[in-house]
Amino acid sequence: MSTALLTDRYELTMLQASLADGTAHRRCVFEVFTRRLPAGRRYGVVAGVGRVLEAIRDFRFGEEELAYLRENGVVDAATLDYLANYRFTGDIVGYTEGEVFFPGSPIFVVESTFAEGILLETVVLSILNYDSAVASAASRMTSAAGNRPCLEMGSRRAHEHAAVAAARAAAVAGFAGTSNLEAGRSYGLPTIGTAAHSFTLLHDDEEAAFASQVAAYGTETTLLVDTYDIPTGVQRAIAAAGTGLDSIRLDSGDLAVVAREVRDQLDSLGAAGTKIVVSSDLDEYAIASLAIAPVDSYGVGTSVVTGSGAPTCGMVYKLVEREGADGAMAGVVKASTSKASVAGRKSAMRRLDAAGRAVEEIVVAGADSAWTPSEPDMRLLHVPLVRAGQVEESYVGAAGVTLAAERHTASRGELGPSARRLSAGDPAIPTTHIQL
């Protein structure tokens, strides 16, 4: 399906005007960055890169899209002719998906003509802002959870297509599974889910509901035990499945207290191997509060798909360099109050200490694409994503999610312990800007 109309009208009006005055084909550099992190956050997580590459690959104006623009008078005939043959032929470099980022990090750099690059602005920001917000929240949750798995269960709290994107972004940040089947199909994610309270309420009693579920799925299932009385539910669950029951789920009450009581009860019944899954409006703070509770995994819904209070990363897509009338490239800058940009194409790297710990983000303005640092303790952050219009396929699909999750584990692992604190504070490492 074409992604070409997932855009704002003013992208096309700018295109029409620039085609008419001859500037549409000037070479340009656009950068995506955020001016600040959400209040109190120590780092952000780049997510959605694979989805952006898929969107660019499908950014085509077919007959239906052109007919809509023509019938509604959005652009003139000359612009329609240009759009009919539109293909992105430029280059894109950026942070690897899963990489952590900080204010001013040039996470996505588009080099193309003005016409080709400006048309991508809205869809690029739409994807990166949402997916990175989810992944940034999810990273705080998986960090707080330690070695205990987090499971994404937020589909019913999001737009149906956003739910798929959220499940993917959560997986980038370390979530072990999702309830969303489309996300499982599209990106190879493990899917999870057994039964809701309605299944118990359907049956004449709790014993019948548990017996039905065990008959259908065996003891490798999770029984939801808090529809009525939790201690009675636990007792009935073990009676139905035996001491080999895989797990029970708690979805209400003071989870720290209830989990301890249930653990003691399971152990007393001989079900020491039965695990405890908790859900019920969890966020990173609730997960952290359960660190010493006998909990085995966390089911997270609303908070992860809404960015846990920060539903966007505030990323912007700005022109930083363009070809002048004389054919030379020149940096351009936006000087608006509180929205100033920095002129020139940028390179980014992270300085590491002898132990491999990140100590500084360095952003170099005025660097060309071939520029490399001379210091051996620098890790370059930009990788090629699109070359002459051809998408790097390793970053899309299921393989792209796996690669992104691995990158996030390594990138977050470079940060010091303070980066994992949930209390308000400055970014985990400082950013130094250098002008060449």
For the domain that residue 404 is a member of, what is the CATH number?
A: 3.20.140.10
Residues 105 and 130 in one domain: yes
Residues 100 and 174 in one domain: no
Flag whether pLDDT at 124 surpasses 90. yes
Each residue's pLDDT tens digit, 291-334: 999 999 999 999 999 999 999 999 999 999 999 999 999 999 88
367 found inside a domain: yes
Q: Of the candidates 282, 307, 332, which is a domain's last residue? A: 307
pLDDT band at 370 (very low <50, low <70, confident <90, very high): low
The whole-number pLDDT of residue 374 equals 66
Each residue's pLDDT tens digit, 15-70: 999 999 999 999 999 999 999 999 889 999 999 999 999 999 999 999 999 999 99
Residues 233 and 382 in one domain: no
Each residue's pLDDT tens digit, 331-362: 998 877 777 778 889 999 999 999 999 999 99
Question: In terms of Cα–Cα distance, which of 35, 292, 259 is closest to 144?
Answer: 292
Residues 244 and 393 in one domain: no
Q: Which residue carries 């780049």 as its tokens?
A: 46
Burial class of 43 by CB neighbour count within 10 A (0 to 12, 13 to 18, 19+):
buried
141 found inside a domain: no
Q: What is the CATH number of the domain that holds 210?
A: 3.20.20.70
Show the domain range for 156.
146-307
Residue % of the chain over a pLDDT of 90? 91
State how far the Cα of 57 lies from the Cα of 92, in Å rounded to an integer: 13
Residues 183 and 264 in one domain: yes
Q: Of the candidates 307, 331, 365, which is a domain's last residue? A: 307
Query: Which residues have a Cβ under 8 Å from the Cβ of 325 and sit 6 or more positions away?
Result: none
The whole-number pLDDT of residue 314 equals 95
Q: Of the candidates 307, 323, 358, which is a domain's last residue? A: 307
89 found inside a domain: yes
Residues 244 and 374 in one domain: no
Residues 295 and 322 in one domain: no
Flag whether pLDDT at 266 surpasses 90. yes
Residues 122 and 171 in one domain: no
378 found inside a domain: yes
Count of structural domains, the chain: 2
Residues 196 and 301 in one domain: yes
Specify the amino acid at residue 316: V
Task: Give the pTM.
Answer: 0.96
337 found inside a domain: yes
Record the tokens describing residue 348, joined without a space: 């980014």
Residues 255 and 375 in one domain: no
Residues 77 and 161 in one domain: no
User: In the predicted model, what is the mean pLDDT of the chain?
Assistant: 95
Each residue's pLDDT tens digit, 161-199: 999 999 999 999 999 999 999 999 999 999 999 999 999
Element (H, E) at 49: helix 49-57
Each residue's pLDDT tens digit, 66-101: 999 999 999 999 999 999 999 999 999 999 999 999
Q: Identify whether the C-beta of residue 33 lies closer than 8 Å to the C-beta of residue 316.
A: yes
Residues 299 and 364 in one domain: no
Each residue's pLDDT tens digit, 198-226: 999 999 999 999 999 999 999 999 999 99
Element (H, E) at 101: strand 100-101
State how far the Cα of 387 lies from the Cα of 93, in Å rounded to an integer: 9
